[in-house]
Amino acid sequence: MKLASPGLEVAASTRRTVSTNPPLSGCARHFEKMLYDNAQLARVYLHAWQVTGNGLFRTITEEILDYVVREMTDPAGGFYSTQDADSEGKEGKFFVWTPDEIRTVFAPLAMRGDEADAFMAAYGVTHGGNFEGKNILEFAGDMEQRPGLAEARRRLFEAREERVHPGRDEKVLTSWNGLMLAAFAEAARALDRDDYRLVAIRNADFLLRELRTKDGRLFHSWKAGPEQGEGAGRAKQNGFLEDYANLVEGLVELYQTTFEPRWYREAWELAETIIARFSAAGGGFYDTSDDHEALITRPRDVQDNATPSGNGMAATVLLKLAGLAVEPRYAELAEESLAGVQAFLGRYPLGFGQWLQALAYALSKPREIAIAGEPQAVDTQALLGVIRSGYRPFQVVALGGPTAHPCDVPLLQNRGLVEGQAAAYVCRAFACQAPVTEPEKLQTLLQLG
């Protein structure tokens, strides 16, 4: 696999950019960068790293998210929608290089000719180029080479910053932000990146402050006014099913990263709104709420496209919340939705990716894990370390101290310390094993089929 150089280039599908920092190569080039692509790719590569331990995948994950922080984040905390393909009227001009341009940048470094040649060989730079006679930098060397090329990459990045930047669509869309919130929250705990945790918290605060009404309903989009200060802007258009479902996904992931009950409560309230306002007779949900502006027909799209369908994500988050809320009704609603599309999943899998994730979760008999203990205590962290190790997609986790209010997160209710030690309660379908206090015993429980 080739790896593009951090911050210096992009490569993408013909329709959407795989806009990473560094982005990947190997597809037809197009330079527009979509927030939803980056959100979903970050999680794919994070999971690949968890499964394989391959440092390449971790590098890609972090540089995607670092790119979003640097280029796609509003001062108020929301994430922008897109970064354009063009600058100065030309596709990709901001991102590509010629050998002569690279040598000019390297000249002050007093690089020998063979050192510059070695750098360009590592990044596949040729006189013919790989994009309209110029080069998207694609790292084709050994990963062990990259640290030694860091200073050269930094100089190229600084030189690129002096170019005319592509424009951005600075709308903040609730649905796309929910996807990116989930990516930052999950990466924060998996990679132990406190900066990502803070980005996620700030984004969640922003969305719930600026894109939610006083009665708990969501708006679809927000944009700062031209003369308004930080945090000032205008939200508009009633939220769609995808806005609610994607934000619930982000909040559920943020709760499992921070274990602050607020994020669970917000997710639960939005899920209740989905059920109350979007439910369709016979199962599943409409794309618009029951008090949305009148349309010729009330849409109900179930097919996943470049982003998950609202219905597919709603099924996913209801399954997760069923465990945290100890609420079988949520799982029943999700399974009812899955039954309605079952005939399509095997025939058209590429059009039902989110649904297949929901189906896998339902069939896995997911674990509901409650940890009772002081969050920062050594024994609590030891149990948490086991739960967060490796790739564990079929579980939800709640954590609370022994003095936590029992109703904050229902999964924690009646879960206490065991002989003064932090304890883990592992449940399936709301039936729980005896609590364990030793990490080794917890590991054994999690390995059981």
Question: What local confidence, expressed as pLDDT, does residue 116 receive?
Answer: 83
Question: What is the spatial distance between Cα 404 and Cα 374, in angstroms, rounded to a whole number?
Answer: 10
Residue 274 zone, left/alpha/beta (φ > 0; ψ -120 to 50; rest): alpha
Q: Is the backbone of residue 284 left (phi > 0), alpha (psi -120 to 50) or beta? A: left
Residue 172 β-bridge partners: 222
Handedness of CA 127, 131, 136, 142 (dihedral sign): negative
CB environment 395-431: b (16+ within 10 A), e (fewer): bbbbbbbeebeeebbbbbeebebbeebbbbbbbbeee
Report the 10 Å Cβ neighbour count for 275: 14
Q: Which pTM value belongs to this model? A: 0.91
User: Residue 331: enclosing H or E segment and its boundaries?
Assistant: helix 328-345
Inter-residue contact 145 to 121 (CB < 8 Å): no
301-to-235, 288, 306 alpha-carbon distances in Å: 24, 10, 13
- The whole-angstrom separation of Cα 347 and Cα 326 is 33
- CA dist., res. 210 & res. 36, Å (int): 20
As to burial, measured by CB atoms within 10 angstroms (0-12 exposed, 13-18 middle, 19+ buried), residue 27 is: middle
Q: Where are the alpha helices (DSSP H) in 126-260?
A: 150-161, 174-191, 194-210, 241-258
How far apart CA 204 and CA 77 sit, in angstroms, is 8
pLDDT in tens, the chain (449 residues): 454 444 453 333 323 333 333 333 334 567 899 999 999 999 999 999 999 999 999 999 999 999 999 999 999 999 999 999 999 999 999 999 999 999 999 888 776 667 788 889 999 999 999 999 999 999 888 888 888 888 889 999 999 999 999 999 999 999 999 999 999 999 999 999 999 999 999 999 999 999 999 999 999 999 987 654 555 678 889 999 999 999 999 999 999 999 999 999 999 999 999 999 999 998 999 999 998 887 788 889 999 999 999 999 999 999 999 999 999 999 999 999 999 999 999 999 999 999 999 999 999 999 999 999 999 999 999 999 999 999 999 999 999 987 655 568 999 999 999 999 999 999 999 899 999 999 999 999 999 86
Strands 367-372 and 395-400: parallel
- Tell me how many degrees the CA angle 396-197-160 measures, rounded to the nearest 5: 130
To the nearest 10 degrees (0 to 180), the angle between helices 55-71 and 35-52 is: 160
Residues 6+ apart with CB under 8 A from 346: none
Question: What is residue 62's three-state secondary structure?
Answer: helix
Distances (CA, A) of 347 to 209, 311, 351, 355, 356: 42, 18, 9, 13, 12
Nearest to 188 by CA among 342, 14, 46: 46
**Residue for token pair 């944009």:** 223
Token pair recorded at residue 305: 């496209």
**Helix ranges restricted to H, 81-193:** 99-106, 113-122, 150-161, 174-191
Q: What integer pLDDT is reported at residue 1 of this predicted model? A: 44
Question: Packing angle between helix 174-191 and helix 241-258, nearest 10 degrees?
Answer: 20
The Cα–Cα gap between 36 and 43 comes to: 11
Single out the residue of 160, 291, 312 nearest to residue 249, CA to CA: 312
Q: Give the end-to-end CA distance of the chain in Å, rounded to a whole number.
A: 34
Give the type of residue at 155: R
Q: Shortest CA distance to 322 belongs to which of 389, 223, 252? A: 252
DSSP-based three-state secondary structure for 345: helix
Chain centroid offset of residue 4 CA = 21
